[in-house]
Amino acid sequence: MFRLKTIVFLVVVAAMALTACAPAAQPTAVSAVPTTAPAPTTAPAPTTAAPAAPTTSGGYVIPVAKCAPNCTLKDLTVGFIQTGSESGWRAANTSSFKDTATQEGVTLKFYDAQNKIENQVSAFHQFNQDPSVNVIVLAALDVTGYDDVLKEAAADGKVVILEDRRIDAAPTNFYTYIGSDFINEGHEGAAAMCDLLKNSTKKNVVEISGAVGASAAIDRAKGFREKMGACGITITQSQTGNWAVPDSKAVMAAFLKQSTDIQGVFAHNDEEAIGAIQAIQEAGLTPGKDIQVIGFDATADGFKYLISGQMGADIECNPLLAPQVYDAAVKALNGDATVPTWVPSKEGEFFAVQGADALNAILATRKY
Ligand code: GYE
């Protein structure tokens, strides 16, 4: 019995001695082969992180709709913020949105801002607050002034699309801009005026510009100035005609009072060109002969003055943008991040020298 106890005691002492010599187990270093199965810990189930929201190439985070990926035109409730009804172009643009919505079953909440930016901003805020609206389309009166409502739209999960006019805001604020390259239109306008004045030793041109602050006016003016030097055009006077016939007629009359040494008129749209033509006639001069006139938009009214030869050139600007805008809106609801941040409109230009027959034939095919 003694002996056994002694032996047991000696064995225990020996075991304790052995463990004392082995290096202490590092808390983190786990031996390859765990000697003892770690106690089952109730590790939280792996969380499937919500997939990152699709983002456009411009960095716009797309508020994907519940109907995705099968949203259709009928899922659109569009809050549309129009500038006003200042021109034939604008009327065609508005009809494009209203008619296409009716045809395609798009729910359209149309707002006419009567050319006041404060009205646009408050309408934008209203649409942000309106739970039924999933897409907001803006035809911007000005290039600035929308920062707060753009932020609010992002917070309220509204898709924002710009149509017709660009704004000075980062593309992180809107899904896409569908509208014209107004700078390029300005380039085409300068080239057309150079051609119209090719036989004139003097090239003094007056400018009747669009509404102050509008990207269409800012960019057409910039584009024209970038190319006018090619034939030595000088802009001698410049003033806004507010896109309107009567305002532009008064401006042109004032220009002629100031100086009759004018060879050309750079009018930013058809209404302004028509106003200038009326003032030139009332001054006893012949538009298209004594003074060359160019316009922009190429509406049906513009074509009439091309055909009569009183307007020498008309640079087209396409107002029928609704189908492209609604298609883009559906893509946004479906989380499609492939739509570019700018979709430039396809446009042409028309000249009096094409002749009445050819121009009438073209006019017969046009919708505005
Ligand atoms: O040229 C003018 C309208 O933004 C392109 O606005 C549009 C311009 C167009 O009032 O007629």
Model confidence over 125-178: pLDDT tens digits?
999 999 999 999 999 999 999 999 999 999 999 999 999 999 999 999 999 999
**Average predicted confidence (pLDDT) for the chain:** 91
With cut-offs at 50, 70 and 90, classify the pLDDT of residue 367. confident
Q: Are 119 and 83 in contact (CB under 8 A)?
A: no
Mutational test site, ligand 1, from 137, 243, 245, 368, max ligand atoms within 8 Å of CB = 243
Nearest CA to ligand 1 atom 5: 216
Query: Could you identify the atom of ligand 1 that is nearest to the CA of residue 317?
Result: 5
Mean pLDDT of 342-348: 93
Q: Is the pLDDT of residue 327 over 90?
A: yes
| pLDDT above 60: residue 91 | yes
Q: At residue 295, does pLDDT exceed 70?
A: yes
Residue 320 CA neighbour count, 13 Å, CB half: 10
Beta bridge partners of 235: 205
- Specify the pLDDT at position 185: 98
Q: Give the model's pLDDT for residue 51.
A: 74
Give me ligand 1 centre to Cα 89, in Å.
Answer: 6
In the chain, where do the E strands start and end?
77-82, 107-112, 135-138, 159-164, 176-179, 204-209, 234-240, 264-267, 292-297, 313-316, 342-344, 349-351
Closest atom of ligand 1 to CA, residue 243: 10
- Is residue 158 within 8 A of residue 196, CB to CB? The reply is no
Distance 331 CA to ligand 1 centre (A): 27
Q: Is the CB of 279 under 6 A from ligand 1?
A: no
- Residue 37's pLDDT is 54
The per-residue pLDDT for range 220-275, each reduced to its tens digit, is 999 999 999 999 999 999 999 999 999 999 999 999 999 999 999 999 999 999 99
pLDDT band at 277 (very low <50, low <70, confident <90, very high): very high
Cβ(216) – ligand 1 distance below 6 Å: yes
When pLDDT is averaged across residues 52-65 and rounded to a whole number, the result is: 94
Q: Quick one: pLDDT at residue 186? A: 98
Percent of the chain with pLDDT strictly greater than 90: 85
Residues 6+ apart with CB under 8 A from 284: none
**Residue 282 CA to ligand 1 centre (angstroms):** 26
Question: So what's the pLDDT on residue 236?
Answer: 98
Q: How confident is the model at residue 52, as a pLDDT?
A: 80
316 CB near ligand 1 (under 6 Å): no
| Burial letters 324-334, b for 16+ CB under 10 A, else e | bbbebbbbbbb
User: pLDDT (tens digit, 9 = 90+) per residue, 25-55?
Assistant: 444 444 444 445 555 566 666 666 777 889 9
Q: Is 82 in the pocket of ligand 1 (CB under 6 A)?
A: no
Whole-angstrom distance, CA of residue 295 vs CA of residue 312:
8
Average pLDDT over residues 10-27: 50
Rounded to the nearest 10 degrees, the angle between the axes of helix 270-282 and helix 88-104 is 150
